[in-house]
Structures are given as C-alpha cells and as structure tokens.
Amino acid sequence: MRDWTAIAAALAPVEVIDDPMLVKKRSRDFFWFSPILNEQLKRRFGDLVAVPKTREELAHCLAVANAHDLPVTLRGGGTGNYGQAVPLLGGLIVQTTAMNRVLEIGEGFVRVEAGALMVDINNALRPRGWELAMFPSTQDIATIGGFVAGGSAGIGSLASGALREPGNIRQLRALSVEAVPQEHVFDAEDALQIHHAWGLNGAITEVTLRTVPARDCVGCMATFDSYADCYAAGYALATAQGLSPKLCSAVEARIVGYFPKLEGHLRQGRHLLVSLLPSSDLDDYRALMQAQGGHVDLTLTEEQRQAAGLPHVFEFAYNHTTLQVLKSDRTATYQQIGVPDASDVDSIVRLEQALGDDVWQHHEFARLNGTVVSFSLPIVWFTTEARLREIDAICESRGFPVYDAHCFHVEGGGLKNADYRHLAWKKRMDPKGLLNPGKSRVWDDIRHLEPDEIDALAGRTP
Ligand SMILES: Cc1cc2nc3c(=O)[nH]c(=O)nc-3n(C[C@H](O)[C@H](O)[C@H](O)COP(=O)(O)OP(=O)(O)OC[C@H]3O[C@@H](n4cnc5c(N)ncnc54)[C@H](O)[C@@H]3O)c2cc1C
C-alpha cells in the first residue's frame, strides 16, 4: 500500500486533489460511449490528482512519480473516447488545465501551453486575424495537449488535412519521467513521435501549431429526401472547386430525430447535410445544394447563431452526433469505419442495406494528403458484442476498414498496428514505463530492448 498522504506532501507546492469523489470523476473520460469499454473501465480509478500550474511544477510531479514508481496518467479535458485518460493501474493523475497560457501568436502559428482549451486559443487568435487550422467538436472543454496526444482531425480538416500532416504541428515540447525530468523538443515531422501516443511517451508541455487566416463562417444545414442524395451532395461540396468548406457531415434522418434543438428549423424526417463555410461561399453553396436536389433550411452567421440560442453546427457533427443520441438513449453506441472510395455512393448504399436497421448512417468528409476522403461514424444500436463484431466483419468484407472504437489499447483503433517510433521514444522518455501503463498492447514484450532496437521494429506487424 502506498502512503498517498506522504506522496501529496512530496508533491508540494503543487496543488493536489484527494477528495475520493473528485479523484473518481477525474479518472473518467468519454469511454462510456462504448458499452464494452464501459464494462472494462468504469471501476478503474486513480489515487490522487495533481494540478501543476507551470512546466517546473509538472516536472516536479514527474520526478515524484519516478521516485515512488507511481503510474502517471496525463489528463487534459478528459474528453477522449477510448479511455485514453483512464488510469488503468491507479496512481497519479496529472491534470494539465492550469498550464493554459497562450505564449506567442505569430504569422501562421500559435505557441501555447499544453493545458490551454482550444476555444480559448481560438478566442485569443481571432482578434489577431487567425484561427486554429483544425479543432475537435469538443473545443470548448478539450485541451490542445489532449488533442495532440489523443485526437486526429476535426473542424477544418476538410481544408487543412489531418493533424499529422506536414506543417500542422510545428513543434512539441515534452518532459521525460526521470529523477530530473528533461524537456525534449520535437520539430516538424519529429513531432509525430509524440503525436497520438496517448501520453505514453512524454508529458507534453508546449505545442506550436499552424494557424490559418480567420474567416467569417456561416453554419449551414441542408436537407434531402434520400441519404444517398445527402451523401452525394456532401461529396460534391467537399470537392467543389472554388468553395472552402471547413466542415461537411452527412447525417441520416433517423439520427436527426435525436436533435431536439433543431426542431422547427429543419424539414421533418429528412437527411441532413451539416456544413461550415466562409460567408463568401454562400451563394455558390445554395446553388450547389439546389443542383444536388437539396433544400437549404438554415444558414447562420456566428451572431445569428448566438441570437437564436442554437449550438454550433459542429455539435451535430463528428462524435457530437453520437453524443446527441446518447443524451436520449444509452443503448446507442458507434463505430469508426473508413470508406474505400469517397465518390462511390452506390457502395455506401449497398453497405447500408447489408448492415440492417441497427446501424444508422453518418459520414464526415475530410482531406487526407490533399485528397477528399470520407469516413463513417454510424450510430450502432448495441445488443451484444457478437453483433457489433458481425457488423465490423460485414464492413471489412466489403473493403470498409474498421478502426475499432471499442478498444482501450493505442494499437486498437486509429493506429491498428503498433507504432514502434512511439515506443522507442517511450523507452527514452519513460524508461520505467510509468506513463499511462496498460494502454499499449506490445510495450511489455519489447520494454527490455534498447530504443534503437525498438525503432528497428518499425515496419513489422506485431
Ligand atoms: C462528443 C465528442 C466529440 C469529439 N470530437 C472529436 C473530433 O472532432 N476530433 C477528434 O480528433 N477527437 C474528437 N473527440 C475526442 C476528444 O474530444 C479529442 O481528441 C480531444 O482533443 C481530447 O482532448 P482532451 O483535453 O479532452 O484530452 P484527454 O481526454 O484528457 O486526453 C487524451 C489523451 O491525451 C493524453 N494527454 C492529455 N494531455 C497530455 C499532455 N499534456 N501530454 C501528454 N499526453 C497528454 C491523455 O493521457 C490521453 O491519453 C471527441 C470526443 C467526444 C466525446
């Protein structure tokens, strides 16, 4: 048994939270979107929360963890979906939200502390004419460090690609877990050694990201009689020459029925295309929607949105779509499914027919390496894990890859395979393996190797 009172004392002057209810709350993220993860993770709690205010305080937390061999889980806003921020083996939770300063705004970049909320960064950028190149739909409560460590894309990715694409992350700084934690600087492509590693291989202190010129955007909602038409209109908008949408999401009518805040604003029972685009694109957007057989139900500038008391359009996109359904019915869940050819509407219709009534369609359009892609985040009405895996198998057999949203290993979802570059850096930055233990399926098998030997495994499938 560890003496947590002594550990809290050793952490001084860092603020700690030891109230058991609060520690339990800080041990959770949005894993409950998955009934499978909910069963696996709902009883996993940390022992103590530290809330450092500076990089020096964060370094002190890591030094104390190293001295006492404590598992350490970094936590930003705790909005991850796969239990990324759940302390599987208990221990110390380090919440970064008090390290939240915007340090520098320059031509096309912003440098911030890792615990800054993305909404605050955008609010600091806009008066200077900039905004983040992309942000998740959770921007109001999620941190930039959590996005870089746990996220992948978001609003803006239709223009700027995924977070991992060259130029989007300009620099990351991260602390090691050692007797005297060292700060390492990862520039440009090297930032990928730390990006999306779920806090396994270093505690990110500072992030420098690409910004883009801020534009007055209009949130748009168009409705369609069939999902095929809605999806096709989404693809047409995403690929239209001369238009610059930041968001384009197709949502089938049965899901839209779970959006009470939009009641009275949309034609009833129709499939919905949600978009965010510069106001200068509005006329062309209207013409395109009409040509695609759609009806533009709602267009809102930011001022109009606020006056109408409506949520941001992106709260009906990405995983907020699932959240809207879960607010009414906890038997809903979702899956993450790639689309092999975004232009092939027929294959999407055929897959929908093969899947049956317990899978409701929702697609996001984004740009990957310059090409418009789509991926699906459908609502799945959960009955059993066997049925979920049957759905996965139907998708995979038709060439639609599944990036499992119901797995708490970093190798399970987006990555699919082990990222040995991440793990080589884990060996360098966290030789005792204290950071977020249990989240890598392969770490225990390779932790005895030297970093260069782990690097050499890259390219091999575990
Ligand atoms: C409704 C909903 C919608 C979402 N939409 C999107 C979306 O559009 N795009 C998207 O990519 N994701 C999305 N997500 C997932 C998540 O919200 C984002 O990835 C978010 O950016 C995570 O930030 P956070 O501060 O909440 O991170 P947390 O959940 O606190 O942490 C995420 C991971 O990062 C690690 N971490 C946190 N801070 C640090 C640090 N300083 N150093 C090292 N590791 C750290 C944690 O240990 C954890 O493994 C969504 C989730 C929900 C519930």
For ligand 1, whether the C-beta of 223 sits within 6 Å is no
Q: How many Å lie between the centroid of ligand 1 and the Cα of residue 146?
A: 4
Q: What is the pLDDT along the chain (462 residues), one digit of tens a residue?
A: 899 999 999 999 999 999 999 999 999 999 999 999 999 999 999 999 999 999 999 999 999 999 999 999 999 999 999 999 999 999 999 999 999 999 999 999 999 999 999 999 999 999 999 999 999 999 999 999 999 999 999 999 999 999 999 999 999 999 999 999 999 999 999 999 999 999 999 999 999 999 999 999 999 999 999 999 999 999 999 999 999 999 999 999 999 999 999 999 999 999 999 999 999 999 999 999 999 999 999 999 999 999 999 999 999 999 999 999 999 999 999 999 999 999 999 999 999 999 999 999 999 999 999 999 999 999 999 999 999 999 999 999 999 999 999 999 999 876 677 899 999 999 999 999 999 999 999 999 999 999 999 999 986 544
Structural domain contains residue 204: no
How much is the pTM? Answer: 0.97
Query: Does some domain include residue 40?
Result: yes
Residue 81 covered by a domain: yes
Shared domain for 369 and 228, answered yes or no, is yes
**Of 367, 397, 427, at which residue does a domain stop?**
397
What local confidence, expressed as pLDDT, does residue 436 receive?
A: 98
Domain region containing 364: 219-397
Task: Indicate the number of domains in the chain.
Answer: 2
367 belongs to a structural domain: yes
Q: Is residue 462 part of a domain?
A: no
Spacing, Cα 80 to ligand 1 middle (Å): 4
- Which three-class secondary structure string do you get for the chain? CCCHHHHHHHHCCCEEECCHHHHHHCCCCHHHHCHHHHHHHCCCCCCEEEECCCHHHHHHHHHHHHHHCCCEEEECCCCCCCCCCCCCCCCEEEECCCCCCEEEEECCEEEEECCCEHHHHHHHHHHHCEEECCECCCCCCCEHHHHHHHCCCCECHHHHCCCCCCCCEEEEEEECCCCCCCEEEEEHHHHHHCCCCCCCCCEEEEEEEEEEECCCEEEEEEEECCHHHHHHHHHHHHHCCCCCCCEEEEECHHHHCCCHHHCCCCCCCCEEEEEEEEHHHHHHHHHHHHHCCCEEEEEEEHHHHHHHCCCCHHHHCCCHHHHHHHCCCCCEEECCEECCCCCCHHHHHHHHHHHCCCEECEEEEEEECCEEEEEECCEEECCCHHHHHHHHHHHHHCCCCECCCCCCCCCCCCCCCCCHHHHHHHHHHCCCCCECCCCCCCHHHHCCCCHHHHHCCCCCCC
Q: Is residue 439 part of a domain?
A: no
The alpha carbon of 150 and the centre of ligand 1 are apart by a number of angstroms equal to: 5
At which of 95, 130, 161 does a domain end? 95
- Determine, yes or no, domain membership for 155: no
Work out which ligand 1 atom sits closest to the CA atom of 314.
Answer: 8
CA of 284 to the centre of ligand 1 (A): 35
pLDDT per residue over 166-194, tens digit each?
A: 999 999 999 999 999 999 999 999 999 99
Would the CB of 299 count as within 6 Å of ligand 1? no
Would you say residue 441 lies in a domain? no
What tens digit of pLDDT does each residue of 285-321 get? 999 999 999 999 999 999 999 999 999 999 999 999 9
Task: Please say which residue of 95, 114, 147 terminates a domain.
Answer: 95
Give yes or no for residue 156 CB within 6 A of ligand 1.
no
Q: Does residue 223 sit in the same domain as residue 90?
A: no
CATH of the domain at 282: 3.40.462
Q: Whose CA is nearest to atom 40 of ligand 1?
A: 204
> Measured from the CA of 436, which atom of ligand 1 is nearest?
47
Q: What is the CATH number of the domain that holds 33?
A: 3.30.43.10
pLDDT at 459: 65
Ligand 1 proximity of 76 Cβ (cutoff 6 Å): yes
Residue 462 has a pLDDT of 45
